[in-house]
A and B are shown apart, each in its own frame.
Chain A
């Protein structure tokens, strides 16, 4: 199967620090790819390159747009979003003063803006806009229902609990209609029950929408359970790549997480 996202020789430097050192890997469509590694390995930096926050020093990030490969680095954020990449953040970034429902409508902005002809059709209440708006609302309500937040649709997002905010952030990313969903530590701060719910949500969403998921996560049981493919970074380099089973037994990975065994033990 051809890759949906293809990262080649990606290098990102901050002054003298090499945060990502010629990393290459592919993200396959309709599969969950996990990006793991110790703190400071460069995982979030890589996400920031993919979503256009950073301009990489060298290398390429290409997205397959119906057969044509499109270079992502250097594109403004809203173009990357419109190409079909959505992401969530380690620290939650909801629009705190807007309602839960509005957060999901912002995610469908590009479509609604087209339908409303820059708000003009919206103000006039033309039927074409009404239809688009209804569709957007239905979609938002559907995903609110899926993440169990439908009853709180009209409350400001900041009133939700931490776990609910995490789920809303994922729902918002889904509502933007991505082909690649990038989740940055979605289970951070969740208790074990919430983590299990999250795992089944991510799995179900990926299968239901045929969505590729790129996941950064420290919770190894979650990673091993839901990933189809795992990429391991350490100090900015890719040290291993493969199925969960192969990663679990990989010596370099174990060394990176637990430290090198000393001379005698080896």
Chain B
């Protein structure tokens, strides 16, 4: 039982990180109907920027962990947001009217480009960071002497994910910007006729998605303490899976999909063979798609005749 609870906590932590990345996929898909396969790379860049910021601040003599954390997250969000904006502006916008395959192939190409670019500029070796946030709480002690703990870092991840999700939900449902995003997602031409600047709305969507992925990147740096230029590939794929699992286009779906995926991986690693955890994750995806093609929270598209 104690072991189970521990895996639950670990799975939710991992799942929150997947969820944060998945939101970027789902928002971009919702508004321009395109899977941005370079999104995983944005997350990777966010991780690098976070790491560099922390190291730079530490060498500048700042030792306060909250300040390091907040600044790292902010800087990573801003820089990743800039990347997101630039990518949309330079690569996807000119392809807006093109057949669907063109932006998809460009996204894959861009993803490879960004990986190689980071490898060239930052080097191919893994980068490490000593753990910043240590300590935690012991929640319970099992009969077999196994203790369940939640680390302070895991608490930070949960709180941050909750806060970001709440903020995002507020923006989407309550603000002008969110209303414009929903309108542009539903019918871009009509939204423009209502006075919505659709191009700008799409830009903002990319910026928000990229900024959230950057937060996930910083979290991963702090969680594992090890990153390299290639982490975006698998994480991007997992987050994409999470988005599809939850229902592409649905924001709560993205978070739910991320959490489900995190839990599956965590429990599979704990009770079965950890080497096969990716197989388990994708098997779940296949099953969900067979029985609920529109995902857990997606609305099936009904063609009106």
Q: Is B274 an interface residue when CB atoms closer than 8 A count as contact? A: no
Identify which of residues 96-113 in chain A touch chain B, using a CB-to-CB cut-off of 8 Å: 96-98, 102, 105-110, 112-113
| CB–CB B183/A123 < 8 A | no
A44-65 CB mask vs B (1 if < 8 Å, else 0) is 0000000111000000000000
What's the least CB distance linking B148 to chain A, in Å? 38
Q: A119-B175, A123-B170 given as contacts; is B186 within 8 A of A96 (CB)?
A: yes
Q: Looking across the interface, which residue of chain A has its beta carbon closest to that of B182?
A: A98
Given the interface contacts A78-B197, A176-B194, does A109 sit within 8 Å of B186 by beta carbon? no
Judge whether B275 is part of the interface by a CB distance below 8 angstroms. Answer: no
Most B CB within 10 A of own CB, among A51, A96, A122: A122
Within the complex, the shortest CB–CB distance from A52 to chain B, in Å, comes to 8
- Indicate whether A183 reaches chain B with its CB closer than 8 angstroms: no
* Chain A positions within 8 Å of B178 at CB level: 119
Q: Which residue of chain B lies nearest to A157 when distances are taken between CB atoms in the complex?
A: B186
| In the complex, chain B residues whose CB is within 8 Å of the CB of A93 | 187, 189-190
Report if B180 contacts A (CB, 8 A): yes
How far does the Cβ of A183 sit from chain B's closest Cβ, in whole Å? Answer: 13
Contact of A97 among B186, B196, B199 (CB under 8 A): B186
Residue ID in chain A nearest B187 by CB atoms? A93
C-alpha gap A35/B171 in the complex (Å): 42
Say yes or no for A76: interface residue by CB 8 A criterion: yes
Q: Which of B174, B182, B189 contacts A77 (CB 8 A)?
A: B189
Question: Are B192 and A122 in contact, CB atoms less than 8 angstroms apart?
Answer: no
Q: Does A179 contact B (CB under 8 A)?
A: no
Which of B157-204 touch A at CB < 8 Å? 170-171, 174-180, 182-183, 186-187, 189-199
- Return A190 CB to nearest CB of chain B, in Å: 18
A44 to B175, CA, bound (A): 34
Q: B184 → chain A, closest Cβ, in Å? A: 9
Minimal beta-carbon separation of B198 from chain A (angstroms): 7
Q: Which of A52, A95, A113, A123 contacts B186 (CB 8 A)?
A: A95
Cβ < 8 Å to B, chain A residues 207-243 = none
In this complex, the member of A77, A80, A105 whose beta carbon has the largest number of chain B beta carbons within 10 angstroms is A77
Contact B179 A105 (CB under 8 A): yes
At the interface with chain B, which of A5-13, A81-89, A192-200, A247-255? A81-89
> What band does the interface of chain B fall in when counting residues whose beta carbon is under 8 Å from A?
20 to 34
Instruction: Let me know if B183 and A119 touch, CB within 8 A.
Output: no
Query: Could you tell me the distance in whole angstroms from the C-beta of A168 to the nearest C-beta in chain B?
Result: 13
**Does A98 contact B183, Cβ atoms closer than 8 Å?**
yes
The answer to whether B190 touches A116, judged by C-beta atoms less than 8 angstroms apart, is no
Complex Cα gap A103–B150 (Å) = 45
Give min CB distance, B169 to chain A, whole Å. 12
Distance in angstroms between the alpha carbons of A118 and B204 in the assembled complex = 10
Q: Provide the bound-state CA to CA distance between A107 and B199, in Å.
A: 17
Q: Which residues of A contact B182 (CB under 8 A)?
A: 95, 97-98, 102
Across-interface contacts of B199 in A (CB, < 8 A) = 76
Question: Given the interface contacts A116-B175, A123-B170, does A106 sit within 8 Å of B187 by beta carbon?
Answer: no
Quick check: A113 and B171 within 8 Å, CB to CB?
A: no
The 10 closest A-B pairs by CB, nearest first: A77-B192, A110-B195, A119-B177, A81-B195, A119-B175, A95-B186, A106-B183, A122-B175, A93-B190, A78-B192
Name 18 A/B residue pairs within 8 A (Cβ), A-sorted: A52-B192, A76-B199, A78-B197, A80-B193, A95-B190, A102-B179, A105-B179, A106-B180, A107-B194, A109-B179, A110-B196, A113-B180, A119-B176, A119-B178, A122-B174, A122-B175, A123-B170, A172-B194
* Chain B residues near A (Cβ < 8 Å): 170-171, 174-180, 182-183, 186-187, 189-199
